[in-house]
């Protein structure tokens, strides 16, 4: 085995990795949680949660503040303007209305003593008609 053999092995190794990655990517999922089960243990964790929009506000800076409700539990979610602009091609978050059923992806954060989700992706809940 010499340097050339090692280099060839390294290239093949990388290519095998790329092929596996190509097939794995579509199956990567973030942990889905019910709104009622989100707790302070989840702070800094990335999760997906679904529910109905019970409140919706847009600040002057274009940040979107949502309250997500599921049965008796609720949690705040925020979509920052910069995020909203980036995900506009998939779903325009400014079009989300009260009573819409959505799923949000993001990091759980503690803000002013309350839990909230800083969203980096939003989608309409396909399981709710």
Contacts with other proteins, residue ranges (CB under 8 A): 1-3, 6-7, 9-18, 20-22, 24-25, 27-31, 42, 44-47, 80, 82-83, 86-87, 106-107, 118, 120-121
Least Å distance, CB 105 to other proteins, is 8
Looking at the Cβ atoms of 54 and 82, the one nearer to other proteins is 82
Rg of the chain in Å (alpha carbons): 20
Which of residues 9 and 54 has its CB atom nearest to other proteins in the complex? 9
Residues facing residue 74 across a β-bridge = 69
- 84 near 95, Cβ under 8 Å? no
- The answer to whether the CB of 92 falls within 8 A of the CB of 26 is no
Q: CB of 26: closest distance to other proteins in angstroms?
A: 8
Strand partners, 103: 50, 123
């Amino acid at each position: 085995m010499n340097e050339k053999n090692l280099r060839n092995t390294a290239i093949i190794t990388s290519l095998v990795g790329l092929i596996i990655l190509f097939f794995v990517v579509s199956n990567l999922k973030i942990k889905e949680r019910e709104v009622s089960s989100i707790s302070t243990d989840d702070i800094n964790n990335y999760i997906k949660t679904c529910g109905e929009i019970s409140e919706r506000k847009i600040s002057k800076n274009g940040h979107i503040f949502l309250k997500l409700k599921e049965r008796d539990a609720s949690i705040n979610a925020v979509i920052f303007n910069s995020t909203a602009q980036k995900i506009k091609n998939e779903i325009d978050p400014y079009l989300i209305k009260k009573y819409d059923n959505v799923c949000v992806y993001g990091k759980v954060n503690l803000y002013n003593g309350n839990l909230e989700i800083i969203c980096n992706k939003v989608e309409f809940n396909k399981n709710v008609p």
